[in-house]
Amino acid sequence: METKDDRPPDRRQLDDILDALLPFAHQLLEKHGEFFPFGAAMGHDGKVSMLAGDTGTEHPPSDEVMALIREAMRRDRDKYVAVGLCYDVRVRTSADAPPTDAICVSLEHEGGMAVDVVEPYAKRANKVEYGPLAAQQGRRVVFNSSP
């Protein structure tokens, strides 16, 4: 079994981004029952900064907020070693299961790694219950070859 210290540097950096985003998503869900997309980026100094997108409207479509955050990440990608975008999705936990709400964190590293981490959740009587994390290959949209 891999320990935290055995992880390669790019994996540790992506885990640090995940560790910044996921607890904040939990806080927002538990306090407000929902959240708008938000992101985080790790600079070359190892510090993680949170990122948000403002469309100028009170209830913007999530796709617009995500596009703004990704655009800012791409514009400043030379400043970052890793980035992550956190947003709400619907997933099936198995082929025969009904769709459920989930937190998705799309992570990217400048070295090439891209992974999507999904955590199903259900809101039940003033409480949010979380399911197990699942990871799958992600898509490179910030650290890709085109500007």
Cα–Cα dist 37/47, whole Å: 21
pLDDT value for 146: 57
Cβ 84 vs Cβ 14: under 8 Å: yes
Average pLDDT estimate for 25-36: 92
Structure tokens at 2: 């891999």
Q: State the DSSP string of 34-69.
A: ----EEEEEETTS-EEEE----SSSS--HHHHHHHH
Going by pLDDT thresholds of 50, 70 and 90, the confidence category of residue 2 is low
pLDDT at 76: 94
pLDDT > 60? residue 135: yes
